[in-house]
Amino acid sequence: MKLKSLLVGALLLATGTMFAQDTVRNKEGGNYLFTIEHDIEATDIKNQYRSGTCWSFSTLSFFESELDRMGKGDYDLSEMFVVRNVYSDKAEKYVRMHGNLNFGPGGAFHDVTYVMKHYGMVPESVYSGLNYGTEKHIHGELDKVMKSMVDAVIKNPNGELSTAWHNAFNNALDSYLGQIPEEFEYNGETYTPQSYMDELGINPDDYVELSSYTHHPFYEKFVLEVPDNWLGGEVYNVPMEDLIKVMDNSLENDYGVAWAADVSEKGFSFRDGLAIVPENEDAIQKKGSDNENFSDAGAEKIGNQFMSPGDEKEITQEMRQKAFDNYETTDDHGMHITGIAKDQNGTKYYLVKNSWGTGFTEMHDGYFFASEAYVKYKTMDIMVHKDAIPKKLRKKLGIK
């Protein structure tokens, strides 16, 4: 369902009438007034809870919207099916690399398309990944157990690796997440993960990733240097303004955008429904910490600019490059951009679907608004359908 429809429904329930159609505040009592200009269909908000699996949640949310765009209807795909397969293959590569690889719960958009191509897909109802006594995803123990197993293997205490280690690793994964079904029943039909993927009709090769950094030539591909890129996935490198054009063209033509960005900035406040880059950082500050997730991104923050719009920094290509080079911009979080909005001053924002559940924001629960300045500054990379790229740029990139 489009957020616009949810907002209208909430207004009707609250007041019995509809006012300021398609206009929403950033939070209850907030003075940001957003008019939603483009709004694609999106599935319900999910909760990754205490797991580092935003990359799987955001990418599958993106693909669920794609299925709707393709006329396939509503789908709820299994994030943990992707996580389970990635963990297994990442472990094998970690051991082959003698531990010289980042091993943890993080991942990238192309991890999902990798799983789709090699292992297929299953519905959430078939594989929830909740096999360890909780109703929400809590992966602290799982992550440490998996890491300790592969670290024990690379120490090679026997003098040679056994033939059992990978089976033992997969059995541990099965204990936590459940066994992957060879066949399953869904809506009266029998599927394998691969035949279900075929039924979806998604071609993973139709989706590409783009980024914007000056340490590689523009209009060429490069391997994005972030720790979670264990597959060595490539992105197309384009100037910052071209990256924005791709995002806008996608959303204006009913395509979504999978968005990887740094959310550790002072100007990111999920509770306030905002991600901004204030000209004066004294206008915002963090209050307390976040005990729900693994970072302070959801912590309570205070300041005048979380209440009312103010001036933001003018972001340049050089600024975003410097932030990446000095580790100010890191690969923090994967999200799903579903729309474009403007505030009462005409400033452009992107409507972002998060995977932190509901209960943070009263007005548009589970979503927030990221200013164009924030997106320019803190985007690591995006994934879009290749048809969503403007034709001239697509030709320049050599994407067929």
Residue 255 tokens, joined? 């395509």
Whether the predicted pLDDT of 203 surpasses 90? yes
Domain coordinates in residue numbering, the chain: 3-397
Residue 211 tokens, joined? 């980024």
- Average pLDDT over all residues of the chain: 92
Whether the predicted pLDDT of 14 surpasses 50? no
Tens digits of per-residue pLDDT, 138-168? 999 999 999 999 999 999 999 999 999 999 9
Nearest to 335 by CA among 263, 389, 274: 263
Length of the chain: 400
The pLDDT of 292-301, averaged and rounded, is 52
Tens digits of per-residue pLDDT, 36-57? 999 999 999 999 999 999 999 9
Q: Pairing mode, if any, of strands 285-287 and 300-302?
A: antiparallel
Give the H/E segment covering residue 235.
Answer: strand 234-237
User: What is the per-residue pLDDT for 23?
Assistant: 86
Q: How far apart are CA 258 and CA 337, in angstroms?
A: 6
In CATH, what number does 3-397 get? 3.90.70.10
Question: H helices within the chain, ranges in order?
Answer: 3-15, 54-69, 79-96, 109-119, 140-154, 165-177, 193-200, 240-252, 317-325, 372-378, 391-397
Beta bridge partners of 223: 234
Question: H helices within 225-292, ranges in order?
Answer: 240-252
Radius of gyration of the chain (CA): 21
Which pTM value belongs to this model? Answer: 0.93
Tens digits of per-residue pLDDT, 312-334? 999 999 999 999 999 999 988 99
Q: How far apart are CA 310 and CA 341, in angstroms?
A: 16
Beta bridge partners of 352: 337, 368
